[in-house]
Amino acid sequence: MIEFRFAVGDLATTSFAYSPLQEAVFSLRCLHDPARYPHHRPWLRRIRPRLQDTDRELLTALVTPWLWVPDFLTPRPARARPAFAHELDEVRRTPPDVVAADFRAGYRAVDTLPPLVARGLADPAAFLVRLTDALDAYWRTCLSDPWWPRAQSIMEADLAHRARVLAEQGAAALFAGLDPGLEWNGGLLRLHHKGATAPWPSADIRIAGRGMVLVPTLFARGAQTMIDVSRPPLLAYPARGRGTLSETPPPVTDRALVRLLGRPRARLLVLLAEPASTTELAHRLDVTPGAVSQHLAVLYDAGLLSRTRSGRTVRYLRTPLGDALCR
C-alpha cells in the first residue's frame, strides 16, 4: 500500500495534466501484453506494419516484464497540456547516472537487465540519444496522427469530468472515482494495488508543499505512481472513456431523429454525449473536418450543442435540449 499525506494547503495545489510522452511510453505495454488492453487492439493492428520502421527491439526493452517503465521516461508534466517535443527535450537532458539508476530500479536488479539495455548502460549518454530518437520516430510513425487527436479528446473529456466532480462533490468523490483502489480519509490518500502485475513497494509519501499532479492514461488498469517515491508526487490513473478508442460510429436508429436532422447531424448529436473536438469527430466518422464543422454550426445555432475553448481547440457537448431530443 502507498500512502500520500496531505498537509493543510496541499489539496489546494493538487492539479490535473495529461502527457503525450507518458502515453507514448505507456503504449509500449501493449506490445508486451495486448490482452490487458483490448480497447487498443484495432490501433495495434493498424500500426504493426509501421513498427518495422522503428527500433522495436529497443522500444520493447523500455518496458519491464511486469509493465513498469523507468521513471525518467515519464517526467511529471510541467504544465496541464505539454507538447510531446517539449517533454522529449526534457528527457534528453536526463543525467546519465539517472538513466542507469532508473533502468535498474525498473528492472529491480542489475542481473535482470535485457542484454540490449545492459550494453547500452555501459555508455548511458549515448544510450539516451538512441532511445529518445527511437521514441521520437515511434511517435511520428505510429501515434501523432490519427491516434493522438482521438486520445487527446478523451483526456480533455476526462479532465472536464473530474473538475465537475471536484467542484460539485469534493475531494473524497474525486479520488474514489479515479480508481477503486484509492481511499481518501482526512488528508490521507491510500493506494491499494489490486491485481498488479508485480508487488509494488509500500511507501509513505508526504506532499509537503510540492503539489500532487493527477494524470489520466489510456494504458493502465489501475492507479500508479513513480517507482522512486522521493520524486515530486504524481498519480497516473485510468482515463474515463478509454474504451471508446475501439468504437466505430454508432448507428442512428431513431428514424424520427434522422428525418428531423438528417443522418450526418443525427449521428453527430448521438456521438456528443461526451465532449469532442471537430478533428476527433472527423476521425471517428471518416469525413473531413470541414464537413463536420458545418453540421456542428447548425446544431449549435439550434441550441442542441454547447462549446468550450481550450487553447486552439473547441470542444462540443450536447445541451439538455440535445439530450432530450436523443431520448
Q: What integer pLDDT is reported at residue 199 of this predicted model?
A: 72
Q: What integer pLDDT is reported at residue 287 of this predicted model?
A: 86
Amino acid making up residue 300: Y
Q: How far, CA to CA in Å, does 188 sit from each of 89, 177, 184, 233, 248?
A: 35, 16, 6, 14, 41
Q: What integer pLDDT is reported at residue 96 of this predicted model?
A: 97
Please say whether the beta carbons of 132 and 125 come within 8 A: no
CB atoms under 10 Å from CB of 297, counted, come to 12
Range of weakest confidence among 181-190, 191-200, 216-225: 191-200
Q: Report pLDDT digits (tens) over 103-117.
A: 999 998 767 899 999
Q: Report pLDDT digits (tens) over 44-98.
A: 888 889 998 899 999 999 999 999 999 999 999 999 999 999 999 999 999 999 9
Looking at every residue in the chain, the average pLDDT score rounds to: 90
Q: What integer pLDDT is reported at residue 197 of this predicted model?
A: 65
Q: What integer pLDDT is reported at residue 149 of this predicted model?
A: 85
Q: What integer pLDDT is reported at residue 283 of this predicted model?
A: 81
What residues have CB less than 8 Å from 222, skipping those under 6 apart?
A: 179, 181, 193, 194, 195, 196, 237, 238
Amino acid making up residue 207: I
326 pLDDT higher than 80? yes
Q: How far, CA to CA in Å, does 13 sit from each of 7, 158, 208, 260, 262?
A: 11, 19, 11, 48, 47
Q: What integer pLDDT is reported at residue 309 of this predicted model?
A: 85
Please say whether the beta carbons of 270 and 276 come within 8 A: no
Q: Report pLDDT digits (tens) over 228-254.
A: 999 999 999 999 988 777 666 556 666
What residues have CB less than 8 Å from 28, skipping those under 6 apart?
A: 59, 60, 62, 63, 69
14 three-class SS: coil
218 alpha carbon, distance to own chain's centre: 4
User: What phi and psi, each to the nearest 5 degrees, are found at residue 144?
Assistant: -60, -35
Q: What integer pLDDT is reported at residue 246 of this predicted model?
A: 66
Q: Report pLDDT digits (tens) over 21-54.
A: 999 999 999 988 888 888 888 888 888 899 988 9
Q: How far, CA to CA in Å, does 323 sit from each of 237, 263, 295, 320, 327?
A: 29, 17, 17, 5, 6
Delimit the domains of the chain by residue range.
2-16+150-243, 20-146, 248-326
**Nearest alpha carbon to residue 219 among 147, 129, 297:** 147
**The domain 248-326 is classified under which CATH number: 1.10.3720.10, 1.10.10.10, 3.30.460.80, 3.10.20.90?**
1.10.10.10
195 pLDDT higher than 80? no
Amino acid making up residue 120: G
